[in-house]
Structure 1
Amino acid sequence: MQNESNGLNDIASILSNPILNTDSYKASHYLQYPPEASAMFSYIESRGGRYDRTLFFGLQMLIKEYLCRPVTPAMIDQAKAFFTAHGEPFNEAGWRHVVGQYGGYLPVRIRAVPEGSVVPTHNVLVTVECDDPQVFWLASYLETMLLRVWYPVTVATQSWHLRNTIRSYLLKSSDDLTQLPFKLHDFGARGVSSAESAAIGGAAHLVSFMGSDTVLGVAAANRYYNETMAAFSVPAAEHSTITSWGRERETDAFRNMIAQFGKPGAIVSVVSDSYDLFAALRVWGTELKQAVLDSGGMLVIRPDSGDPRTIVLQTMQALEASFGSAVNGKGRRVLNNVRVIQGDGVNPDSIEAILAALDQAGFAADNIVFGMGGALLQQINRDTQRFAMKCSAIRLGDEWHDVLKDPITDAAKRSMKGRLTLLVNRHTGEYRTATLPVAWDAHTVEGDWEEALVTVFDSGKLLVDVSLAEIRRRAHAHEA
């Protein structure tokens, strides 16, 4: 009964309690700092990794969901009961101060590079500062929650680089760049660890693309980034909707797909490897060919097994033999009335390999769409881009002091020191991390540089509410 009365078994209330959205050992840290500490400054960076640049995205989601609601006395009671039973001390006085002095809103200031910015690694992306002596430790207490921005940043970064890869093949082989936002479809909802991951990662993918079957990701992008509809999908078969007809009636299952969804200008996707892909391709090109042509729609065949690089090319060659192709302005062949979507074994390496194989065979990139699942939303982690949040400065009394770690066993983990900001060159777009106050010198001419970080949150108030449309424009400004 004690656990129930304090909400210790109420997972929903625990998940919505910002005091508990932390690591256990954080509860004891207020007793570990110098007694004269009065303010703290922390920052987030990518210390390198798979990509040399990151696309910043997702902080607005975290702030709206977790920091724009006040701490309440009931939350404090719940957290006190939890940490006491859990074996940790609890700073009840500090949290009561937050409620009494600030109405429950956390007195922290968060500055960040605008979402959609593409920033080289080893630069500060976010800073967190608290200058209230009674709760200065909040700048570090929030690390657990805020550092989870690594996930949407890493998904957005990977998708941005994949967009560049696909775009390079379209530039080389296609007359139509408008299809680019629909060339990499999110198939990742079932492959992630939680519904929240599907929402956050799925939204991050939509910075660079507009095709998704991850409903929660689309909904999150709509809600947190002020969109009416952030992405789109099409009717598509899965194996059960084909195999439920039985092997002997597979052609009837295919015919039903065209009858139900094959309308002029429409797209219908049909998985075709349930039994014998090559037999299915022959059926599509003979018995069902006229139905496809008469529908006025676009048939998209999904081969869902076999070596991706080989099977996509074989599928395309079989479809070309049946439906024919036209040569575009780049001298590449574009299939008539049909396309291919590859959703099996899709990752950054296989996308590059498939596009290269099609290009070598003379096919335009128009012919292929990719569906990416686990590799898009799940096969990444915090170390993919080596994300870290560290305290870099502390005020002792009235004087700021630098803070850093510099382990002799791993120089890559050396942290930055001081109160930090990010500068951007207004002419070249180059970024540079600097300490405050900025020391303008011959190498950093004040007229050429400006601060890139913007205050996005201060003591419970969201100060920047950016739209996905604006983020997309910023992320892909280099394509203009």
Structure 2
Amino acid sequence: MAGFPAGGTDNILLVTDSYKVTHHMQYPPNTTTVYSYFESRGGKFPNTVFFGLQYILKRWLTGQVITLAKIEEAKELYTRHFGKDLFNEEGWKYILEHHNGYLPLRIKAVPEGSVIPYKNVLMTVENTDPKCFWLTNYFETLLVQVWYPMTVATNSRYQKEIIASYLDETADNLAGLPFKLHDFGFRGSTSVESAGIGGMSHLVNFMGTDTIASITTARTYYGCPMAGFSIPAAEHSTITTWGKDDEVAAFRNMLERFPDGLMACVSDSYDIWNACENVWGKELKELVIARGKHNGTLVVRPDSGDPPEVVIKVLNIFGAIFGTSENSKGYKMLPPYLRVIQGDGISYETLESILSRMKENKWSAENLAFGSGGALLQRLNRDTQKCAFKCSFAVVDGKQVNVFKDPITDHGKKSKKGRLTLEKTKDGYATMEEGHGDPKKDLLVTVFENGKLLKDYSFDEVRQNAELDLVKQRKSSQ
């Protein structure tokens, strides 16, 4: 149909749930303020990394986002959608005429990258024009989508905690930590946009990625010139096109085409044990060693089988052939020109089993890196951290109303009351309800007001806010 782009639109009036279009008619008469908040009500991880709101604000809400053409497009679409005219044309034209198309909203949020225990307020939203009380919750649909970058960043950070703890126990230092979990998730994402958002969220914690969309998204929305890095690497097609009998030639080509630096080669196309023991370990052994003289490191990638078993067997084969050294913690290290990356079956749930098996066998975690795809960017949803957006305060007929819900069938969905602040306490964090907090102690920052972005976080700021306490402690002790 002419006038309606396939697959999406930049018309902010259309980026909501259908029923929101009718809500301007449902509030009590003489409502002038609607105030809502966003939180993680619980979920898989006890803390959440708040991240991604700035992307939403810059992408959708900042500037003159309401025009007459957008209002007319929305009216036509919604009239057809509902079969009658329920669209708030008057309200949107008011915003266009009195606010020049800028949204009269105020959004406060914790600093991006903040690590906050669940059941705490993370963001509040309210209208700044009493005639636009209906606007606050119109954008719930869009704003709640911060659940995705937030949850990816949280999932990634918890994996970083596991890796960091094993490095701390079995490696000389944590220097290699930023590159220990590599993003392989582009092809498994639901869209290029979701790959960019999710991949960028992983880069809050790490610096390794093969998801190009993640680095372009971080560049555009967080001003980061280069958020992630990668290395030359083989896939099965570039190895198997040489044929099974010529696998050695395929491997040799990798060593010769990339004579220095890090290079990864998938090695399980046929027989991972033969590849490690006879191809890398005999026929190409001298080339692998010689490449090390040019600061070259071969990273061998098994890509099938039971990860803990495969990793240990590969390390043992290489250790027997290339030799090992012992680090300051008493754990074995392969020569610096040889490492392993496990990129199959990696998730928060599987990391521990691999790293604990390595530790049991006296292998340092420094020998291994991980790659993760679907489990990193896709195996999660809004309920992973039970994200919710609820109204907690309103002004009706000039009276302040503390708004809440408390379903008798599920008290876990009980919502907070009144105006909220987030404050630091001796035990961590606390959300103060019903306006009882101290505004001077409030950690929520006004990031958006009346169509303007008031706080523009750099990616470095986000990373610093999200950094592990263990890493901060090690840096401070150096």
Map of 1:273-284 to 2, 5 A cutoff?
A: 273-282=268-277, 283-284=279-280
CA offset at residue 436 of structure 1? 5.5
Q: Quick check: 1:270 aligned with 2:265?
A: yes
CA RMSD in angstroms, aligned pairs only: 1.3
C-alpha distance after superposition, 1:135-185 (max 9, x if no partner): 211110000000000000000011111111100000000012110000000
Correspondence for 1:26 among 20, 23, 30: 20
Does structure 1 retain, via aligned residues, the 8 Å contact 2:418–2:435?
A: no
Partner of 2:288: 292
Map of 1:68-79 to 2, 5 A cutoff?
A: 68-69=62-63, 70-79=65-74
SS of structure 1 residue aligned to 2:424: strand
Greater mean alpha carbon deviation, residues 165-174 or residues 219-228 = 219-228
Q: Quick check: 1:450 aligned with 2:441?
A: yes
Q: Quick check: 1:378 aligned with 2:414?
A: no
Greater mean alpha carbon deviation, residues 409-418 or residues 430-439 = 430-439
Q: Quick check: 1:55 aligned with 2:45?
A: no
Does structure 2 retain, via aligned residues, the 8 Å contact 1:262–1:298?
A: no
Does structure 2 retain, via aligned residues, the 8 Å contact 1:391–1:403?
A: yes
Does structure 1 retain, via aligned residues, the 8 Å contact 2:109–2:122?
A: yes
CA offset at residue 477 of structure 1? 5.9
Map of 1:25-104 to 2, 5 A cutoff?
A: 25-69=19-63, 70-87=65-82, 89-104=86-101
CA offset at residue 439 of structure 1? 5.0
SS of structure 2 residue aligned to 1:286: helix
Amino acid at match of 1:289: K
Map of 1:229-378 to 2, 5 A cutoff?
A: 229-263=226-260, 266-282=261-277, 283-296=279-292, 297-336=296-335, 337-378=337-378
Amino acid at match of 1:333: K
CA offset at residue 133 of structure 1? 2.7
Does structure 2 retain, via aligned residues, the 8 Å contact 1:167–1:180?
A: yes
CA offset at residue 311 of structure 1? 0.7
Scaled by the length of structure 2, the TM-score of the pair is 0.95
Tell me the percent identity. 49
Does structure 1 retain, via aligned residues, the 8 Å contact 2:402–2:434?
A: no
**Aligned partners of 1:60, 1:289: CA distance in 2, in Å?**
50
Does structure 2 retain, via aligned residues, the 8 Å contact 1:455–1:463?
A: yes
Give structure 2 stretches of 5+ with no counterpart. 473-478
SS of structure 2 residue aligned to 1:217: helix
SS of structure 2 residue aligned to 1:38: strand
Correspondence for 2:152 among 151, 155, 165: 155
SS of structure 1 residue aligned to 2:447: strand
Give structure 1 stretches of 5+ with no counterpart. 441-445
For the structure 1 residues 429 and 112, does the alpha-carbon distance in structure 2 shift closer, same or farther, using more than 3 Å as the test?
Answer: farther
**Aligned partners of 2:249, 2:193: CA distance in 1, in Å?**
39
Does structure 2 retain, via aligned residues, the 8 Å contact 1:174–1:365?
A: yes
CA offset at residue 244 of structure 1? 0.7
C-alpha distance after superposition, 1:423-444 (max 9, x if no partner): 124xx4721111353356xxxx
**Aligned partners of 2:217, 2:344: CA distance in 1, in Å?**
26
For the structure 1 residues 175 and 111, does the alpha-carbon distance in structure 2 shift closer, same or farther, using more than 3 Å as the test?
Answer: same
Does structure 2 retain, via aligned residues, the 8 Å contact 1:44–1:147?
A: yes
Partner of 1:189: 186
C-alpha distance after superposition, 1:232-285 (max 9, x if no partner): 00000000000011111110000000001131xx00000000011111112101
CA offset at residue 203 of structure 1? 0.5
Partner of 1:430: 428
**Aligned partners of 2:333, 2:216: CA distance in 1, in Å?**
34
For the structure 1 residues 252 and 229, does the alpha-carbon distance in structure 2 shift closer, same or farther, using more than 3 Å as the test?
Answer: same
CA offset at residue 228 of structure 1? 1.1
Q: Quick check: 1:464 aligned with 2:455?
A: yes
CA offset at residue 196 of structure 1? 1.1
**Aligned partners of 2:135, 2:77: CA distance in 1, in Å?**
19
**Aligned partners of 2:29, 2:128: CA distance in 1, in Å?**
15
Greater mean alpha carbon deviation, residues 380-389 or residues 401-410 = 401-410
Would you say how many aligned residue pairs link Structure 1 and Structure 2? Answer: 463
Does structure 1 retain, via aligned residues, the 8 Å contact 2:106–2:446?
A: yes
**Aligned partners of 1:210, 1:172: CA distance in 2, in Å?**
22
C-alpha distance after superposition, 1:57-115 (max 9, x if no partner): 11001100000142111111111011000016100000001111111111000000001
Does structure 2 retain, via aligned residues, the 8 Å contact 1:38–1:131?
A: no
Does structure 2 retain, via aligned residues, the 8 Å contact 1:421–1:436?
A: no
**Aligned partners of 1:333, 1:142: CA distance in 2, in Å?**
54
